[in-house]
Chains A and B, each alone.
Chain A
Amino acid sequence: MGVPRPAGEFDTSYAYDMSTIRQPWQWWLLIALILSLYALPFYASQSVVALVNRIAITIIAVQGLNLLTGYTGQISLGQAAFMTTGGYISALLVNLSGWSFFEALPIAALGAGVVGLVFGLPSLRVKGFYLAMATLAAQFIIPWFTRNIFPDLLNGAQGLNVRVPVLFGIEFSTPQKYIYLSLTALILTTIVAHNISRSRLGRAFVALRDHDLAAELLGMNLFKYKLQAFFLAAVFAGIAGSLAAHNIRHLNSETFNLNDSVIFLGMLVIGGLGSNLGPFFGAIVVEMLIEAATLFGPFFISLFPSTAAGAVQALRPLFFGLTLMLFLIFEPRGLAHRWQLLKAAWRLRPFSH
C-alpha cells in the first residue's frame, strides 16, 4: 500500500509478507474490537445495538459494491435491487418451503448473484454511465417484478412478512440477538472481500478498472471479469438483503430503493473507493450522519422557524448530498486514504516525511 512500516520490521518469510495482520498487538486489538462488538447487547442501549446491526448489514452491501465499483470500476446503481432479490428469495424459501434461514441465505445470495449476472450482461458492450443506466434499469425492473408477478405468492405491492431466523431453538427476534448474525456475516464477508481483492481475481479487477483496453490487449478476458464482478457484488447484496429482510421482518418492493443504491455509492466514495476499509468508514460515517440529522433535526429547524413543516426529513438528503459533494471535491480518495496518511504520519513522527 506504500505505507511505511516501522523501522526494523522485515518480511522474513512469504507467509509473513502475505499476512494482513502482522503484529501480535494488532491481533489483540482486533480480537478486543470483535469481542466488544459481540458484547454490545450487554452494555449498550437497544437503539445503539439496532444502529450497529443496521450498519453491519449495510457494510456487507457496500463491500459488494466496492468489488464492482471500487475495484472493477463499473458504476452500479442497482445494488439495492439485488438486495431486494436476495431478500425476496430467502423470505420465500423460509415462508413457503419451511427452510431454515441458514439454508435459505446461501441460495438467496446465489440467486441474487445470477440476477446480477443478467444485469451485468450490458457491460459487454457499454461502460461508464451507459452501464450506470443499465443497472438503473435493474433498479426499476426488479421491484416491478416483485410487485407484479405471482401476486398470490409475492403479495404484490403489499409485500411479505418475513419470519424470524431460528437456530438451535434461539429466535433471533430482537436487535440484541440479531446482531450476532449480522456481525458474524460481516466478519465472513470481510475475509472473503479482502482475500478476493488481493488475489489474482482482485488484481484483474484493478487492471480492468485502471485501463480496460490495455488489460484486454494483454490478453485478459474483460467480459469474464466484469461478469464475475457483477456476480460477486450481487452475491454480497443478496446476503445483505436477506439479512436485512429477516431483521426488519417485512419486505416489499420499496424496502430497498434507488435512494439506497445512491447512498451505497456515496458511502463508498466517502469511505474510499477500492479500499477494504472504505465500506467500513463510509457506512459508519454516513449512518452516523443520518442519525445526527434525525437527532439534531428538530433543534436545527427551531433555529430557522420559517422553514416548512416536515423539514426534518429534508436534512438527511441535504447532509448526505453535501457531505458527498465535499468529499468528491476535497478528498476524492475518501476516509480510507486519510487513515493511511494518518498512520504514515504517526509512524514517521516527528518527521513529516
Chain B
Amino acid sequence: MNWQLLPQFLMTGLLAGGPLALTALGLVLIFKSTYIFNFAQGQLLLLGALFTWWFAVEAGFPLWLSILLALALSALLGFGIERFALRPMTGQPLLSIVLMTLGLGQALHGLALLVFGGAQRNFPQIFSAANPYKITTPFIHDGNPIVIILKQNLVWSFVVAILGVLVISAFFRYTNAGLAMRGASEDHELAQSIGLRIHRIFGVSWALAGVVATLGGVLLATSSGLDLSLSVVVLAAFPVVLLGGLESIPGTIVGGLLIGLSQGVVSASRLPMVRNMSEIMPYVVLLVVLLIRPEGLFGQKRIERI
C-alpha cells in the first residue's frame, strides 16, 4: 500500500463516485416505477452528451441553453422509447424485456455512430481546469503533511451529481407524481385499477431517466472528453445500483461512493497487478454483494409466492 498517496486516491475515488451515483440514479428511476432494468442507459447518457455537444459546438448556442435543449431532447427520446419500444413489452417475461433494452442499446449506439460519427471530441469546459483545490490533511508523511490535489471539475461534478440525486429523491418523496410512480412500481395492475395512468407514469419515468442520463453524460464528458466509449461508464454503474439496492435512491449515493472508494483504495496499491484491479473492482464488489446480500444495502427483499 502506498500510504502517502492513499488520501489522494481515496478522495479522488470518492469524488468519482458522484457521477457514478447520478448514472445509477437513471437506472433506479426506471426500475422503481416500471420494474425494468435499463441496459440502454449508457447509450442514453452518450446521446445526451452528444446532443449537448451538437447544440453548443456545431449550432453555437451558449452552453446553458444547449444543456437545456439537450435535456428537453433526451426527455423526448425517453418518452419515445417508452412508447414505441417498451410499451409493447408490457406483461412480457423478464428475459424479453432485458433483451429489449439490450437491443435498444445496440440500436442507439448505431444511431449515435451514424449521426455523430465516432471521432473523439472536445467537449466545452464547464468548470475551470486550472487552479485545482489543495487540501492539507492532518496526516504526516516524511515530516510533511500530505496535500490532496483536487481538480475543480471533479469537485463540482460531484456536487452537481449529489444535488441531482437529492432533488430526484425529494421529488419521489414529496410530490404526487413521485408518489404515483412509487405506487406504480409496487403493482402495475393494482395501480391502474385505482386510477393511476401507468403508461403516463412510465413515460415520465423514462423521460426523467433521459434527463438524468444527459446530466450525467455532460458531467462525465466535461471531465473526461467525449467519444463513443462514454457509454461504458454505465457498466460501472450497474454494480452501484445493485450495491445500493435496486429500489433505493439514497442507495445510489451510498453505492456510488462505496464503489468509487473501493476503486480508489485499490489504485493506491504499490503492486501493479492490484492497481490494475481498479477497473474490475465494481464487479468484484458486485459478485460479493450478490452472494451475501442480493437485495443490496437498502433494497427490498422480495418474497415470492406461488
**Other 20 A-B pairs with CB < 8 A, given A214-B306, A309-B117, A325-B104:** A69-B95, A122-B291, A125-B291, A128-B94, A133-B286, A136-B235, A137-B284, A148-B276, A148-B277, A149-B273, A262-B106, A265-B99, A311-B113, A311-B114, A313-B113, A314-B111, A322-B107, A325-B100, A328-B96, A329-B85
Q: Across the interface, do A321 and B109 meet the contact criterion of CB distance under 8 Å?
A: yes
Which B262-284 residues have a C-beta within 8 angstroms of A?
A: 273, 276-277, 279-280, 283-284
Is A132 part of the binding interface, using a Cβ–Cβ cutoff of 8 Å? yes
A121-B99 Cα distance, complex, nearest whole Å: 23
Most buried by B among A136, A137, A147, A273: A137
Which A125-140 residues have a C-beta within 8 angstroms of B?
A: 125-126, 128-130, 132-134, 136-137, 140
* A-B pairs with beta carbons under 8 Å apart, 28 shown: A73-B95, A75-B94, A75-B98, A126-B290, A132-B37, A132-B98, A137-B239, A137-B283, A137-B287, A140-B280, A140-B283, A258-B235, A265-B99, A266-B106, A308-B113, A308-B119, A309-B117, A309-B119, A310-B118, A311-B113, A313-B113, A314-B111, A314-B113, A315-B110, A317-B109, A318-B114, A324-B106, A329-B88
Which A278-319 residues have a C-beta within 8 angstroms of B?
A: 307-311, 313-319
A 137-159 binary contact with B (CB < 8 Å = 1; else 0): 10011001001110000000000
A149-B207 Cα distance, complex, nearest whole Å: 43
Is A178 part of the binding interface, using a Cβ–Cβ cutoff of 8 Å? no
Question: Nearest Cβ distance between residue B269 and chain A, in whole angstroms?
Answer: 13
Q: Across the interface, do B280 and A144 meet the contact criterion of CB distance under 8 Å?
A: yes
Interface residue from B92, B94, B110 paired with A318 (Cβ < 8 Å) = B110
Q: Across the interface, do A213 and B115 meet the contact criterion of CB distance under 8 Å?
A: no
Interface residue from A130, A314, A321 paired with B242 (Cβ < 8 Å) = A130
Q: Across the interface, do B273 and A148 meet the contact criterion of CB distance under 8 Å?
A: yes
Interface residue from A147, A313, A318, A324 paired with B111 (Cβ < 8 Å) = A318
Given known contacts A122-B291, A144-B280, A266-B103, A325 and B110 CB-to-CB distance under 8 angstroms = no
Given known contacts A313-B113, A325-B103, A129 and B290 CB-to-CB distance under 8 angstroms = no
Give me the interface of B with A, judged by CB distance under 8 Å. 37, 85, 88-89, 92, 94-96, 98-100, 102-119, 235, 238-239, 242, 273, 276-277, 279-280, 283-284, 286-287, 290-291, 294, 304, 306
Q: Across the interface, do A325 and B113 meet the contact criterion of CB distance under 8 Å?
A: no
Contacts of A69 in B (CB 8 A): 95
Contacts of B287 in A (CB 8 A): 122, 134, 137, 141
Contacts of B290 in A (CB 8 A): 122, 125-126, 130, 133-134
Is A88 part of the binding interface, using a Cβ–Cβ cutoff of 8 Å? no
Q: Across the interface, do A324 and B279 meet the contact criterion of CB distance under 8 Å?
A: no
Interface residue from B95, B104, B306 paired with A321 (Cβ < 8 Å) = B104
- Secondary structure class of chain A's binding surface, majority of residues: helix
Contacts of A309 in B (CB 8 A): 117, 119
Most buried by B among A128, A217, A319: A128
Is A332 part of the binding interface, using a Cβ–Cβ cutoff of 8 Å? yes
Number of interface residues of A (CB under 8 A): 52
Contacts of B276 in A (CB 8 A): 144, 147-148
Is A269 part of the binding interface, using a Cβ–Cβ cutoff of 8 Å? yes
Contacts of A325 in B (CB 8 A): 85, 100, 103-104, 107
Question: 4 tightest CB-CB pairs across the interface, nearest first?
Answer: A308-B117, A318-B110, A321-B107, A321-B106
A75-B102 Cα distance, complex, nearest whole Å: 12
Residue of B nearest to A119 (CB): B287
Q: Across the interface, do B110 and A316 meet the contact criterion of CB distance under 8 Å?
A: yes
Residue of B nearest to A131 (CB): B290
Contacts of B112 in A (CB 8 A): 314
Interface residue from A133, A144, A273 paired with B95 (Cβ < 8 Å) = A273
Is A320 part of the binding interface, using a Cβ–Cβ cutoff of 8 Å? yes
Q: Across the interface, do B306 and A213 meet the contact criterion of CB distance under 8 Å?
A: yes
